Amino acid sequence: MINFNKFYKSFNIISIVLVIFSILLLFFKGLNFGVDFKGGTLIELRASDNKINVTSLRDTFINMNLGDVNIKKFGNEKDFLIKIEKKDTSANAIEIIKKDLTKAIGSSFTFRRVENVGPKVSSELLKSGIIAIALSLAAMLFYIWIRFEWQFSLGAILALFHDVVITMGLFSLFNLEINLSIVAAVLTIVGYSMNDTVVIYDRVRENLRKFSDIKIYELTNISINETLSRTIITSVTTLLALISIYLFGGEILKGFSLAMIMGVVFGTYSSIYIANPILVKLRVSQKTILKEDID
Amino acid sequence: MLYFSKLRITFVSLITLFFIFITLTNFQSSENSFISQKINLGLDLQGGSYLLLEIDNGPVEIQKLQNTTTFIRNFLKKKKIVFNDLRIQNKKIIFSVPTNKVDLVENFFLDKESELNPYYNQYKSHQFDLIIDEDKFELTLSKYGLIEIKTSSQDQAIEIVRRRVDEVGTNEPNILKRGNNRILVELPGLDDPMRIKSLLGKTANLTFRFVTQNDNDNFGVDLLKFEDGLNEAMVSKRIILNGDNLLDAQPQMNNQTNETVVSFTLDRVGAKRFGKATSTGIGKQLAIVLDGKIVSAPVVRDTIASGNGQISGDFTFQSATDLALLLRSGALPAPLNIIEERTVGPDLGQDSINAGVIALLIGFLLVIAFMFFKYKIFGLIANVTLLINLFFLVGILTLFEATLTLPGIAGIILTVGMAVDANVLIFERIKEECKNEKNNIIAFDAGYIKSKTAILDANITTLIAAIILFFMGSGPIKGFSVTLAVGIFTTLFSVYFIARMLTSVYVLRNKDKGKLI
């Protein structure tokens, strides 16, 4: 048996520091929103001419006076991702860019993907993304509140909050792009982290019924250990699937799978080191559970 | 718990075979397949264009207010009520009448049977909100009035959009209403939506009006620019003909001038009006006005009674073809703005499919290798279950003709990783039970029973996330939530039927062999 409970305090401190650091990052550095949420134009360009590179593209785009343009390689040497902040959704905006590009660098390129999002749509998408995440947290809170006692609900939601905030903090720190698929990833993280926490909580509750003489501090440790191999195996299989998406699933899914990988790692950690210490702090005992049973 | 009746085994096997069959039909061409359903590929996988159009209802509202103002003016004149200062200001109709007539006018506006309130009986709402300040009237379009305008212009616009897209002849376009002022156009297989975008970007409001020299024309005049943007001309507001009178329009080569023109045919009413106008207007310039710009303004040389005519202009064959198409399909009730566009080229779509399939295969292999390493024979059972689970998942997506997107493929891969969780929970529980219980059958039974709540809770939480994602997400993300949600159900089914059946067969055969797991 591993004594997880010995490290409750130290890991809690680390977690608090990480969460505060993440919140500070989110406040002061902010997130790198993609065109989905900020509006603008995104072009994935494939060059069939090796003279085309980031520098030549950058020079060309600067001459087009399109405002802030961000150009980077996308996966390999001949694919480039061009992000234009200017919100021009007029019918021929893309066509003009294509023409100007052809004039400057020849016609040895194709647009593989074009996304053009107007300011109205992007602000709606952002709003619905935030609502979706808030709603999912609320729904989880509610579900756990029905299934368990409020102490568990609080612990689970703090663990969730911890995972989401730190994942977002990392996205801010590494300047990774937030787009629609990241919202999907965050919601899935919420589901996964909850899932992980619930399995341990389920065992804690079962053990609370079984043993009246064991303190919650010990009891959580027993429960974590009993469910530990499941926790590890499921994390490993999920991570194997996610790493496979990250490595082989193509550039478009990279952000999504990376967010999920972070989420699974933090989700697994938090269901041990956030969700359980909260139960200890809230002095959960057999009485907490029995009251529920009588109800 | 471990006992499975013959009937049940047959049933489960049949279902499994059925879904394997359904899944495989996806790889067959549809003609010789027994089941016609297939998974739809999303635009991000098959390539294509997604356009979200917003109807700009401003002009329609103004038009409505103008019509109503005329209506009010006629009414007041007929009733011999003196009115003052009838005008439109900030989307309001404002006027005043003598104090002793206020009641009369108010009743006119509140009359349920009046033409002013065409849908009072339906919505129990007037078309206009009325504010009366002593003798001053202020009318604004009511909430329902605005909704009515929006829905009716959306109804008309979607019809015109459909006609225009059909005329271009793209492959199975998908045209849907979104909200009450938006239209979604999905064009699978189209990698350059330029032409469609420019066709949808035009209202194509065509009018024939005489050019006048004096600005005191009875109907008022507009100073309009020519298409080239350089010249201007004064054009009467009186409309001789508009696009509604057109029966047909085609691009044509004019043999004499060697120019490309658009020839048109008018309906009976149009032909009559055109004939009359051209007979009285010989020598005058007739301006052909499209969306507020003059295409050309030829001089009328002869009476044209046949109802056939030509529009000349500075056309290329392409632009003449497009104009003819626009005229044939009719004018939009209001301008459309493209507020969101997403286009994926077909080769990127194919690359995404390939990458997705490779990621799925590798993910699947990694997971089954790990499970086999961890649980040996039971790992094998979990792996067979996982494979059948995949067939269930793809089979159900096929039956419902769900749309598979790139995030959807990610959802399937993620399901592979998370689906083993239920079996892991059960196996781990059984392991624990085996510590205190020597009888294998009892231990296995207990394992299944005691792990149930954890499995249920764990899956419901993921399901909640998937459902929220389904309702809040758009396009490709919806595809992800669908595979995730369906994956949960197929996982539970395969774990409790397939895996348990295989486990029971194995355990019942080897019940006396000591520790099995």
Residue A254 confidence (pLDDT)? 93
Residue B24 confidence (pLDDT)? 87
Q: Over the range A126-150, which residues count as b (16 or more CB within 10 Å of their CB) and which as e? A: bebbeebbebbbebbbebbeebbbe
Percent of chain B beyond pLDDT 90?
A: 37
Looking at the fold, whether B124 and B230 belong to one and the same domain comes out as no
Provide, as residue numbers in chain A, all residues whose Cβ is less than 8 Å from the Cβ of B433: none
CATH code (residue B86) = 3.30.1360
pLDDT band at B490; cut points 50, 70, 90? very high
In a domain, B17, yes or no: yes
B 360-399: CB under 8 A from A: 360, 362-363, 366-367, 370-371, 374
Which residues make beta-bridge pairs with B96?
A: B84, B136
User: How far is B198 from chain A, CA to nearest CA, in Å?
Assistant: 6
Nearest CA in chain B to A40: B340
Provide, as residue numbers in chain A, all residues whose Cβ is less than 8 Å from the Cβ of B488: none
pTM for the predicted model, two decimal places = 0.86
Looking at the fold, whether B113 and B239 belong to one and the same domain comes out as no
Strand order through the sheet with A109-117: A69-74, A76-84, A40-47, A109-117, B336-344, B48-55, B182-188, B174-178
In a domain, B359, yes or no: yes
Interchain pair A238, B418: CB under 8 A: yes
Of the CA atoms within 13 Å of residue A109, those in its CB half-sphere come to 28
Whether A220 has its CB under 8 Å from any CB of chain B: the answer is no
Report yes or no: B417 and A239 within 8 Å, Cβ to Cβ: yes
Residues B440-453 have pLDDT tens digits of: 889 999 999 999 98
pLDDT band at A292; cut points 50, 70, 90? low
d(CA B161, CA B167): 10
In a domain, B356, yes or no: yes
User: How far is B458 from chain A, CA to nearest CA, in Å?
Assistant: 4
pLDDT band at B215; cut points 50, 70, 90? low
> Following DSSP, what letter does each residue of B54-79 receive, concatenated?
EE--HHHHHHHHHHHHHHHHHHHHHT
Interchain pair B345, A112: CB under 8 A: yes
d(CA B481, CA A154): 26
- Using DSSP, state whether B342 is helix, strand or coil: strand
Interchain pair A241, B424: CB under 8 A: no
Q: What average pLDDT does chain B have? A: 88
* Nearest by Cα to A198 from B464, B468, B433, B389: B464
Residues B325-337 have pLDDT tens digits of: 999 888 898 999 9
In a domain, B335, yes or no: no
Q: Which of residues B136, B169, B200 is at a domain's end?
A: B200
Query: Amino acid identity, residue A170?
Result: L
In a domain, B230, yes or no: yes
Looking at the fold, whether B168 and B142 belong to one and the same domain comes out as no
pLDDT band at B478; cut points 50, 70, 90? confident
Interchain pair B340, A241: CB under 8 A: no
Residues B22-55 have pLDDT tens digits of: 888 888 765 555 667 888 888 999 999 999 999 9
Residues A56-109 have pLDDT tens digits of: 888 888 888 788 888 999 988 889 999 998 766 566 788 888 888 888 888 889
Q: Over the range A37-50, which residues count as b (16 or more CB within 10 Å of their CB) and which as e? A: bbbbbbbbbbbeee
Residue B52 confidence (pLDDT)? 93
Looking at the fold, whether B243 and B359 belong to one and the same domain comes out as no
In a domain, B338, yes or no: no
Interchain pair A237, B338: CB under 8 A: no
pLDDT value at B349 more than 60:
yes
pLDDT value at B418 more than 80:
yes
Looking at the fold, whether B464 and B378 belong to one and the same domain comes out as yes
Provide, as residue numbers in chain A, all residues whose Cβ is less than 8 Å from the Cβ of B466: 187, 191
Residue range B122-143: mean pLDDT, rounded: 84
B 57-76: CB under 8 A from A: none
Interchain pair B406, A253: CB under 8 A: yes
- Decide the pairing of beta strands B92-96 and B84-89: antiparallel
User: How far is B358 from chain A, CA to nearest CA, in Å?
Assistant: 7
pLDDT value at A225 more than 90:
yes
C-beta atoms surrounding A248 within 10 Å = 20
In a domain, B130, yes or no: yes
Residue A89 confidence (pLDDT)? 59
> At B337, which helix (H) or strand (E)?
strand B336-344
Task: Show the tokens assigned to B189.
Answer: 């297989």
Residue range B68-92: mean pLDDT, rounded: 86
C-beta atoms surrounding A161 within 10 Å = 16
Interchain pair B472, A188: CB under 8 A: no
Task: Show the tokens assigned to B451.
Answer: 């792990």
User: How far is A256 from chain B, CA to nearest CA, in Å?
Assistant: 9
CATH code (residue B474) = 1.20.1640.10
Looking at the fold, whether B488 and B351 belong to one and the same domain comes out as yes
Residue A258 confidence (pLDDT)? 95
Classify burial at B74, counting beta carbons within 10 Å of its beta carbon; exposed 0-12, middle 13-18, buried 19 or more. exposed
Looking at the fold, whether B195 and B211 belong to one and the same domain comes out as no
Q: Which of residues B129, B146, B163 is at a domain's end?
A: B146
Q: Which of B200, B338, B464 sits opposite A139 (nearest CB)?
A: B464
Which one of B435, B449, B468, B495 makes the best mutation probe of the A interface by having the most chain A beta carbons within 10 Å? Answer: B468
Looking at the fold, whether B355 and B478 belong to one and the same domain comes out as yes
Q: Which of residues B307, B330, B353 is at a domain's end?
A: B330
Whether A252 has its CB under 8 Å from any CB of chain B: the answer is yes
In a domain, B339, yes or no: no
pLDDT band at B303; cut points 50, 70, 90? confident
Residue B29 confidence (pLDDT)? 66
Domain of residue B165: give its range.
Answer: 49-55+149-200
Q: Which of A90, A237, A249 sits opposite B370 (nearest CB)?
A: A237
| Eight-class DSSP state of B514 | S
pLDDT value at B485 more than 70:
yes
Residue range B87-108: mean pLDDT, rounded: 86
Torsion from C-alpha of B256, B262, B265, B270, nearest 10 degrees: -110
Interchain pair A143, B347: CB under 8 A: no
Residue B362 confidence (pLDDT)? 96
Looking at the fold, whether B366 and B449 belong to one and the same domain comes out as yes
Residue A171 confidence (pLDDT)? 95
pLDDT value at B474 more than 80:
no
Interchain pair A183, B477: CB under 8 A: yes
d(CA B216, CA B221): 8
Whether B17 has its CB under 8 Å from any CB of chain A: the answer is no
Question: Going from the N-terminus, what domains does chain A have, and what CATH number goes with each?
Answer: 4-30+121-294 (1.20.1640.10), 40-117 (3.30.70.3400)
Provide, as residue numbers in chain B, all residues whose Cβ is less than 8 Å from the Cβ of A188: 414, 462, 465, 469, 484
Secondary structure, 3-state, B250-274:
EEEEECCCCEEEEEEEECHHHHHHH
Whether A123 has its CB under 8 Å from any CB of chain B: the answer is no
Q: Identify which of B72-86, B243-257, B385-399 has the greatest average pLDDT.
A: B385-399
- Decide the pairing of beta strands B403-404 and B40-41: parallel
Whether B452 has its CB under 8 Å from any CB of chain A: the answer is no
Q: How far apart, in Å, are the Cα atoms of A236 and each of A169, A196, B494?
A: 24, 13, 21
Looking at the fold, whether B354 and B372 belong to one and the same domain comes out as yes
Residue B78 confidence (pLDDT)? 87
Whether B342 has its CB under 8 Å from any CB of chain A: the answer is yes
Nearest CA in chain A to B339: A118
Residue B34 confidence (pLDDT)? 66
Interchain pair A89, B340: CB under 8 A: yes
Which residues make beta-bridge pairs with B286?
A: B210
Residue B133 confidence (pLDDT)? 85
Interchain pair B370, A240: CB under 8 A: yes
Provide, as residue numbers in chain A, all residues whose Cβ is less than 8 Å from the Cβ of B360: 244
CATH code (residue B307) = 3.30.1360.200
Looking at the fold, whether B401 and B308 belong to one and the same domain comes out as no
| Eight-class DSSP state of B473 | -
d(CA B69, CA B92): 10
Residues B164-205 have pLDDT tens digits of: 998 887 778 999 999 899 999 999 988 778 888 888 888 899
Domain count, chain B: 4
Residue range A177-197: mean pLDDT, rounded: 90
pLDDT band at A147; cut points 50, 70, 90? confident
User: How far is A31 from chain B, CA to nearest CA, in Å?
Assistant: 20
pLDDT band at A162; cut points 50, 70, 90? very high
d(CA A154, CA A36): 33
Looking at the fold, whether B363 and B421 belong to one and the same domain comes out as yes
Classify burial at A155, counting beta carbons within 10 Å of its beta carbon; exposed 0-12, middle 13-18, buried 19 or more. buried
